[in-house]
Structure 1
Amino acid sequence: MIKLTRRSFIKGSAALTGITLATGKGFFHQTSPAYAEDNSRETFAYTYCDMCNQTPKCGINAVIRNGKIVRVESRENYPNAPLCAKGIASLQELYDPERLLYPVKRTRPKGDPDPGWQRISWDEAYDTIVKKLNEIKEREGPEKVLFYVGDPKEPRSAVQRLAYTFGSPNYGNESSTCFRAAALASLLVFGLVTLGSDPTPKTRTCLIWSKNPAWSGPYGHWKLHEAKERGTKFIVVDPRVTPTVSGLADIHLQLRPGTDGALALGLINVIIREGMYDREFVDRWVLGFPELKAYVQEFTPERVEKITWVPKEKIETAAKLFATEKPATWIGSASPTVHSSNAIQNHRAILALVALTGNFDVEGGVTIPTEPLPFDLFAGNPAFNRETDIFPQIRDKRVDKEYFPVWAHYINEIQMNMLPEYVEKGLLKAMVMFGGNAMMWPQTTQYQQAIARMEFSVAADYYLRPWTHNFMDMVLPAAMTYERMAPLAIFGRKIYLREPVIKPLGEARSDWRIAFELGTRLGYPEEFWHGDEEAALNELLKPLNLTVDDLRKHPEGLEIPPKGPNKFRKYELGLLRQDGEPGFPTPSGKVEIASQILAQYKFNPLPVYREPLESPLSTPELAKKFPLILNTGSRVPMYTHSKLRELPWLNQFMPEPVVRINPKDAAARGIKDGDDVILASPHGEIKLKASVTNIVLPGVIDVFHGWPQANVNMLVPRNFDPISGYPPYKEGLCEVKKT
């Protein structure tokens, strides 16, 4: 068994970051009241970590003394392991003295910088929420209430069910700036969602596009190195020199952020020019190839080099490798390629590259499961979420349909990025938020003001976070992963039950329990099983003829055997369409490089490239004042988005916000490592510490998001992609100067 203690944490984290651990304030063993006397008996309980997102749910063996967790170990024989630094530090979050443990309400008017939080009972909290929501429902309609889930993502299914049962189609989540645009692009091209597949023993080439699994997915990164040892060639597209690049890349395409679509079209240009595309697949299964062939003629390697900064020789070499060394797979990220004002079309161009080379749903290529279990990424399903019975009756009342009709056509969650406009126009009057963060949006103050203008807003969270909650009326204490049950953990065809390993601290309650108790008090006790989470999980398990008790009997996980062997080229077998006919679940039944849905809504059906709205090429005069490219939102090993900065074990490795700048750009500005600098864009400025490093491309800076004292999203304009509504977090202009 791998035992993860503070000593191993120090050793592993220091090796990872090159920073030694500072002792003193925040030393967990000394300051936490969690630790019992050494002679007390130890017991063990299993759960999973939620310090990242809905994945990877790495397994935890919690060691308990006198009802308190004293250390964590990696769970043996569990799909994702070992625990990383974040998982080990989860105990600091659990026992943080600043954690919110009781419901509170504001006692001062909105606009006052101090809400005057006052502790209240759960009964008072529920009574107030129910009264406010029902008043608005009766006066103006249930659609005026917004239900929202941020991070953790675990309560999505429960809260979506709550929204639709209440009668509001206006359920949203943080994926309106993260995963859903990539999903939408995939739906437009293939009719189904894929972010690619890991290489298998048959894979000869793997294209990793703007993803750094060495940091964002360390639990599975070793599989990629095993593939490399087997002989798989790797092409990595990233503006940074990441550990994934240095450890795996045979070819590194180091592009200017925001130009992914141009690079993909340049690769396609070479493949078509050389006749290396899969003619049989294209002729039978691809719609729009002649039009794409004509369009990509202008994306020669020479022109693409000028756009992307990638040398034309590398474009030629990468294209030929991906098209000829087959089967080839692709691993994409949920967000970097779509954090652009041309989000959908950029990502569609990458998907077209996969399709044209015939690498879709072939063994060793980009595959999809033959018999997936009846759960979504968040352990719900459309029936449980009430997407099949209630949502179709109320979808016409969603607030985003006039703003982003293609998004509304495919995605049931509303596009949240127009929240200020929804509130300004009176389309939304109240908000029920689980784990939200106002800093996630560009020009954050507009969203804070929108929340403050609502008649009523309530959040559930682990902490009181001023940048979000100071604009709200009430905050409820949420239970953490060690203290809650739902949802299930699902790995392929294996299901694990999670149950609380300790009692919730204070009066914290799980998100699922809060949602179900609200639903019950709002007048829907049967629909929410009178607040019983276990009954809800039993409902989810019904399609498999299982119960929670069945899972309890299998702490090692319960494997659901498939009905038959995995099958490839399912589009030939009639396994992708609901009507059972061969083809893809798109309007044409083909891979739609020319999208009929985009044409229906008056967008260009091809994956056309559009230069960022602010760039050296589109706004050269502006680029003279702001000559650097602003790349935001990269991952680091110790933090997840804006989370975990409160924890001393993690904060010590990056205690202050930094901007990464290449040594050439730093020298030209007289900047040295550790200097105080100002990062400015046409839309604002913030103060940070300079990190001078070759990890970033000359001409590009790299900034992490989520720092309250240096909110980089204040530098990002609200120039949304017209199809998905996504903000341009990875393409704008900026300048760095020494203070």
Structure 2
Amino acid sequence: MTSDRAPTVDHVKGYCGLCIARCGTIATVADGRFIRLDPDPAHPTGAAICAKGRAAPELVYHRDRLTRPLRRTRPKGDPDPGWEEISWDMALDLIAAAMRRTAAQYGPEAVAFSMSSPSTTAIADSAPFVRRLMNAFGTPNLVWALDLCGWGRGFATRYVFGVGSVATGGAGGAMPDIARTGCLILWGYNPSFTRITHATATVAGLKRGMKLVVIDPRNVGLANKADVWLRVRPGADGALALGLANVMIQRGWYDQEFVRAWSNGPLLVRSDTNMLLKAEDVFPNAGRGSFVAWDMRSSSIVRYDPVTGQYDPSPGHLSLQGEYAVETIDGAVSCRPVFDHYAGLCRQYSPETIARTCWISPEQLAEAARTIWVSRPVSYYAWSGHEHHANTTETARAIAMLYALTGSFDAPGGNVLLPSVPTVPITGEDLAPGLAPAIGVAERPLGPARWDNVSTHDFYRGVLEGDPYPVRTLIGFGANLLLAQADPVRGRAALSSLDFYAHADLFMNPTAALADIVLPVASCFEREALKIGFEISEDAQSHVQFRSRIVSPPGEALPDTDVVFGLAKRLGLEKRFWNGDVDAAYREQLASSGISLEQLRAEPAGRRSSLTATHYKYQAPDERGNARGFPTPTRKVEFWSETFADHGYSALPQFIETAVSGTSQPADMFPLILTCAKPSLFCQSQHRALPILRKRLPYPEVELHPMTAAAREIRDGDWVEVRTSSGAMRAKARFNETLDNRVVVGQHGWWQGCTELEIAGSDPTDPTGNNFNLTVDATMRDPISGTPSHRFNMCDIRLLRSNAHAGYRGMA
């Protein structure tokens, strides 16, 4: 007998935590079951949601979810781990005991933590608490993908502006004011696939007449709507930035007054030492730390004091170009302004050089430069497309300096430092005096390790070689290192050799399979979370929301935050974690906001705080009445970095051509450039087990031009092998006529099977499998950040004749 009772339906407002977009959502729950996720148009990020968000119910109820803590009972080399279900108390007790044991023998820094990227997972809900636990315990070593995601746009650009010229979420930085910009540059960034809130804003901007410049090797997403699409050669972005700057400088298409007043472009550089001329070298009584510029109106030098940001005497017209003989204490020295050196560097990247290096014609180069200049104000956003290279730091600096030429930074319609709701920091920096230096900081003192972020390369070295000190325990929160990072073979060896490894995740994966303890965690739809500000605009930044749980997690799964608090209790750190009260932590975080946790619980759609964006904040007076300037050593935008020079790097952003893999091999063995891009349906290495998504893209694909394929007898849809000097992977060929025929585009993150579609998974270390990262040469690394060259490796591609048949159901 069937019931005619209508289901009880609830609509729960919240936001999707699956990626950095944090789209505002409305969840539909029928009789206690989560059945649908839709965008919330009233939310500042709720204009749309992507396919991944719509697949949320399938994620929540997937049969492969982890539901109970597991303990390994067999050695890590055994193909069967012998997983045994245990209680949460036993699991947390074992983890805490291992952490204490390692700290007692080697020091707390020998315990590392790993974490998935907040840009593509829901770890942002718990990341501040993970860092707090690290600080309270005494370890600086967080292994995550900053060197690949966020370093270039948000950290390397700090060496130009003092802050990230592109925002990275929790790390701060400037956000493009798309609603008011005259020209938006999307550099290696496809928001249609990565941040849909930016995609919808861009479409709205185009409708009102905004100009769009897209720089990408592929014509994807918004590139087909662009006024200018520059099909840059992978790895040549730095040269392109210098080439665009050259055209703009040569034609006078730059904001000379901004450069003169707000950059260190006027400061003089000595020809004999190639260092900034110090005032103490010229004036006997000058204090240390001041510099010298040339005033064209008085034909004399003026002193610049970075403490005040003032010139003395006040200049009439500072020179940006030319050569001047300056009498120093030790005699006459020839000097040129910083900007003259920068312009000279840019001149090396003439339109003809850019055509050879970047594969962009002089006409396109000039069109892009003109569009940028005449359409000001300009804003830009850059993403992984320029970051996954072994020259990313200098590329990011070059892009930031190109942007500085427009004078649009922190201007209406430019990249704006948005206000934020006042909060109390909870990451516990005050709990961690005297931490050991992070692994990698000695080799690359200006890179991610400066901020206690450790690359996998350096982490593996610490584990396998004990350099600079042993790392023996790892506590992992969702980081699938074997799929997300280069050198998975070395990664497996490192993880297998740890004394202890605990991993928290939604699903078992190849990295978690190497752990001693595996913990089941709740998805973002099954836990509460607090978000203060939604980044993309002034309105979004004013939005504060406490996301309620839509449904209960499966089995005994718990939020990552509960795992952190449980470990803190067992480590004797409970008082530093609000005596185990997560709500007390949220209340402390909100204490200075004027909004209470109780108010947020009563209003699940969130509350707005009163925020008003101000502009040109570098012009505002400080407490002494001097212009605030920029938070750099010279208090100016830095075209010339003495910080870099002092550490043995170039003061100017030199374009470093990525070394070619396999240079010992004949050139015709690897004639193609292999780069990669992520498909829109999955977040990195996740979600391929969901049939609703997997049926739309059953197998990994590699894009190539039909001409390239014809030369190798490859048809569209054939299984192929892509091989570099480092390794190989397999995928299905997909033709793309808009690609340059010298470029091949793969996809990373493939390992997971899909039982419902009878698709098998693959081993991430098997060269006959589908792990793109096997093709990456992990020895090619950025000298400053340590970033490996994920998006530039020389390769060839061949047809797999035996597996290229229509009925194939496994992974080739």
Aligned-partner Cα distance in 1 for 2:654–2:209: 35
- The verdict on how the C-alpha distance between 1:686 and 1:200 changes in structure 2, with shifts beyond 3 A counting, is closer
The residue type paired with residue 65 of structure 1 is A
Match for residue 60 of structure 1 among 1, 25, 30: 25
Partner deviation per Cα, 1:282-314 (whole Å, 9 max, x = no partner): 112222322111111211010111001111111
- The verdict on how the C-alpha distance between 1:112 and 1:580 changes in structure 2, with shifts beyond 3 A counting, is farther
Aligned to 1:730: 791
Aligned to 2:560: 511
Q: In the alignment, does 2:255 pair up with 1:278?
A: yes
Partner deviation per Cα, 1:560-605 (whole Å, 9 max, x = no partner): 113xx43221111147x99975210011111112112211211111
- The verdict on how the C-alpha distance between 1:46 and 1:489 changes in structure 2, with shifts beyond 3 A counting, is farther
SS class of match (1:546): coil
- The verdict on how the C-alpha distance between 1:201 and 1:141 changes in structure 2, with shifts beyond 3 A counting, is closer
Q: In the alignment, does 2:465 pair up with 1:425?
A: yes
Aligned to 1:16: none
Aligned-partner Cα distance in 2 for 1:308–1:266: 10
Aligned to 1:308: 358
Q: In the alignment, does 2:437 pair up with 1:405?
A: no
Aligned-partner Cα distance in 1 for 2:560–2:585: 13
Aligned-partner Cα distance in 2 for 1:501–1:314: 50
Aligned to 2:98: 132
Aligned-partner Cα distance in 2 for 1:136–1:37: 61
The question of whether the paired residues in 2 share the 8 Å contact of 1:513 and 1:532 is answered with no
The question of whether the paired residues in 2 share the 8 Å contact of 1:420 and 1:450 is answered with yes
Partner deviation per Cα, 1:361-402 (whole Å, 9 max, x = no partner): 111122211x32246xxxxx7x31122x134521x4322211
Aligned to 2:490: 446
Q: In the alignment, does 2:152 pair up with 1:181?
A: yes
The question of whether the paired residues in 1 share the 8 Å contact of 2:122 and 2:524 is answered with no
Match for residue 191 of structure 1 among 157, 162, 166: 162
- The verdict on how the C-alpha distance between 1:172 and 1:686 changes in structure 2, with shifts beyond 3 A counting, is closer
SS class of match (1:405): coil
The residue type paired with residue 569 of structure 1 is Y
The residue type paired with residue 725 of structure 1 is G
Give matches, 1:227-626, under 5 Å.
227-246=205-224, 248-287=225-264, 288-333=338-383, 335-369=384-418, 371-374=419-422, 383-387=425-429, 389-394=430-435, 396-407=436-447, 410-426=450-466, 427-438=470-481, 439-465=483-509, 467-488=510-531, 490-491=533-534, 492-562=541-611, 565-574=612-621, 581-614=627-660, 619=663, 622-626=666-670
The residue type paired with residue 303 of structure 1 is T
Superposition deviation, residue 264 in structure 1: 0.6
SS class of match (1:71): strand
Identical-residue share of aligned pairs (%): 32
- The verdict on how the C-alpha distance between 1:338 and 1:622 changes in structure 2, with shifts beyond 3 A counting, is farther
The question of whether the paired residues in 1 share the 8 Å contact of 2:377 and 2:406 is answered with no
The question of whether the paired residues in 2 share the 8 Å contact of 1:431 and 1:456 is answered with yes
Which segment is superposed worse, 287-296 or 162-171? Answer: 287-296
The question of whether the paired residues in 1 share the 8 Å contact of 2:259 and 2:405 is answered with yes
- The verdict on how the C-alpha distance between 1:304 and 1:525 changes in structure 2, with shifts beyond 3 A counting, is same
SS class of match (1:518): helix
Aligned-partner Cα distance in 2 for 1:256–1:38: 61
Give matches, 1:651-670, under 5 Å.
651-670=694-713
SS class of match (2:533): strand
Superposition deviation, residue 683 in structure 1: 0.6
Aligned-partner Cα distance in 2 for 1:309–1:551: 53
- The verdict on how the C-alpha distance between 1:423 and 1:620 changes in structure 2, with shifts beyond 3 A counting, is closer
Superposition deviation, residue 417 in structure 1: 3.2
Superposition deviation, residue 179 in structure 1: 1.1
Superposition deviation, residue 318 in structure 1: 1.0
The residue type paired with residue 77 of structure 1 is A
Give unpaired runs (5+ residues) of structure 2: 167-173, 265-337, 535-540, 752-761, 763-769, 801-812
Superposition deviation, residue 278 in structure 1: 1.2
SS class of match (1:458): strand
The question of whether the paired residues in 2 share the 8 Å contact of 1:384 and 1:540 is answered with yes
The residue type paired with residue 402 of structure 1 is A
Superposition deviation, residue 320 in structure 1: 2.0
Superposition deviation, residue 200 in structure 1: 4.3
Aligned-partner Cα distance in 2 for 1:537–1:103: 27
Superposition deviation, residue 707 in structure 1: 0.7
The residue type paired with residue 486 of structure 2 is P
SS class of match (1:674): coil
Aligned to 2:776: 716
SS class of match (1:528): helix
- The verdict on how the C-alpha distance between 1:48 and 1:203 changes in structure 2, with shifts beyond 3 A counting, is closer
Aligned-partner Cα distance in 1 for 2:32–2:210: 49
Aligned-partner Cα distance in 1 for 2:738–2:504: 38
Q: In the alignment, does 2:99 pair up with 1:49?
A: no
Aligned-partner Cα distance in 2 for 1:578–1:664: 65
Q: In the alignment, does 2:186 pair up with 1:208?
A: yes
Superposition deviation, residue 202 in structure 1: 4.3
Which segment is superposed worse, 357-366 or 157-166? Answer: 357-366
Aligned to 1:28: none
Aligned to 1:648: 691
Aligned-partner Cα distance in 1 for 2:442–2:4: 62
Aligned-partner Cα distance in 2 for 1:676–1:701: 14
Superposition deviation, residue 76 in structure 1: 4.4
Which segment is superposed worse, 524-533 or 306-315? Answer: 524-533
Match for residue 170 of structure 1 among 130, 141, 144: 141
SS class of match (1:551): helix
Aligned to 1:24: none
Aligned-partner Cα distance in 1 for 2:687–2:720: 24
The question of whether the paired residues in 2 share the 8 Å contact of 1:487 and 1:537 is answered with yes
Superposition deviation, residue 59 in structure 1: 2.6
The question of whether the paired residues in 1 share the 8 Å contact of 2:438 and 2:449 is answered with no
SS class of match (2:415): coil
Which segment is superposed worse, 342-351 or 620-629? Answer: 620-629
The question of whether the paired residues in 1 share the 8 Å contact of 2:438 and 2:453 is answered with no
Partner deviation per Cα, 1:162-213 (whole Å, 9 max, x = no partner): 0110111112323232112322211111011132644545422222111112
The residue type paired with residue 618 of structure 2 is Y
Aligned-partner Cα distance in 1 for 2:95–2:410: 48
- The verdict on how the C-alpha distance between 1:432 and 1:37 changes in structure 2, with shifts beyond 3 A counting, is farther
The residue type paired with residue 222 of structure 1 is T
- The verdict on how the C-alpha distance between 1:545 and 1:527 changes in structure 2, with shifts beyond 3 A counting, is farther
Aligned-partner Cα distance in 2 for 1:290–1:256: 28
The question of whether the paired residues in 1 share the 8 Å contact of 2:146 and 2:448 is answered with no
Superposition deviation, residue 475 in structure 1: 0.4
Aligned-partner Cα distance in 1 for 2:36–2:256: 57
Q: Which has the larger radius of gyration?
A: 2
Q: In the alignment, does 2:75 pair up with 1:109?
A: yes
The residue type paired with residue 186 of structure 2 is I
SS class of match (1:482): coil
Aligned-partner Cα distance in 2 for 1:312–1:437: 43
- The verdict on how the C-alpha distance between 1:305 and 1:391 changes in structure 2, with shifts beyond 3 A counting, is farther
The question of whether the paired residues in 2 share the 8 Å contact of 1:517 and 1:530 is answered with no
Superposed CA RMSD in Å reads 2.1
Give unpaired runs (5+ residues) of structure 1: 1-35, 376-380
Specify which structure has the higher proportion of helix: 1
